[in-house]
């Protein structure tokens, strides 16, 4: 039973990804089946977030969230997604990727201290 569970988990992780083309953002979520495709014209906002609150207090956890017109989101906080195995390089590559998305959709990157505290800029 453990072997079967491990095999299913491995397949889901291997099939979880995001691709950025010149026209679209293509995601395949961990629990999803098949790809979700969004044109850059469907991006309604992009947030850059510095911190998050945990049960142990506030921690620095820089990440980005892309909001789409259909109500769905994609976030770099997804534990499966990494732009690079090296976390420092991943953070730098992530900034380049988000800048690319902002340029393609013509949206400014909104900067926030916390994700759900819109008043914190």
**pLDDT band at residue 79 under the 50/70/90 scheme:** low
pLDDT above 80 (res 1):
no
pLDDT in tens, 80-119: 566 666 767 778 888 999 999 999 999 999 999 998 765 4
Within 8 A by CB and 6+ apart from 65, the residues are 46, 47, 49, 73, 74, 75, 76, 77, 115
pTM above 0.85, yes or no: no
Quick count: other Cβ atoms within 10 Å of Cβ 57?
Answer: 7
The pLDDT assigned to 5 comes to: 47
Residues contacting 105, CB < 8 A, separation 6+ = 40, 41, 43, 46
2-112: CATH, from 2.40.50, 3.40.50, 1.10.1760, 2.30.29:
2.30.29
- Predicted pLDDT at 85: 66
DSSP state of 108: P
Domain limits, the chain: 2-112
More reliable by pLDDT, 118 or 74: 74
Per-residue pLDDT of 27-48, as tens digits, reads 887 666 788 999 999 999 999 9
Q: Are 73 and 60 in contact (CB under 8 A)?
A: no
């Amino acid at each position: 039973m453990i072997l079967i569970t491990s095999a299913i988990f491995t397949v889901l992780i291997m099939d979880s990804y995001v691709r950025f083309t010149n026209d679209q953002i293509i995601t395949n979520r961990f629990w999803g089946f098949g790809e979700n495709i969004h044109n850059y014209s469907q991006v309604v906002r992009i947030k850059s977030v510095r911190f998050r609150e945990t049960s142990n207090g506030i921690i620095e956890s820089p990440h980005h969230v892309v909001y789409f017109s259909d109500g769905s989101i994609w976030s770099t906080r997804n534990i499966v997604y990494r732009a690079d195995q090296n976390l420092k390089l991943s953070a730098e590559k992530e900034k380049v990727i988000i800048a690319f998305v902002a340029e393609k959709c013509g949206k400014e990157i909104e900067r926030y201290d916390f994700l759900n505290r819109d008043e914190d800029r």
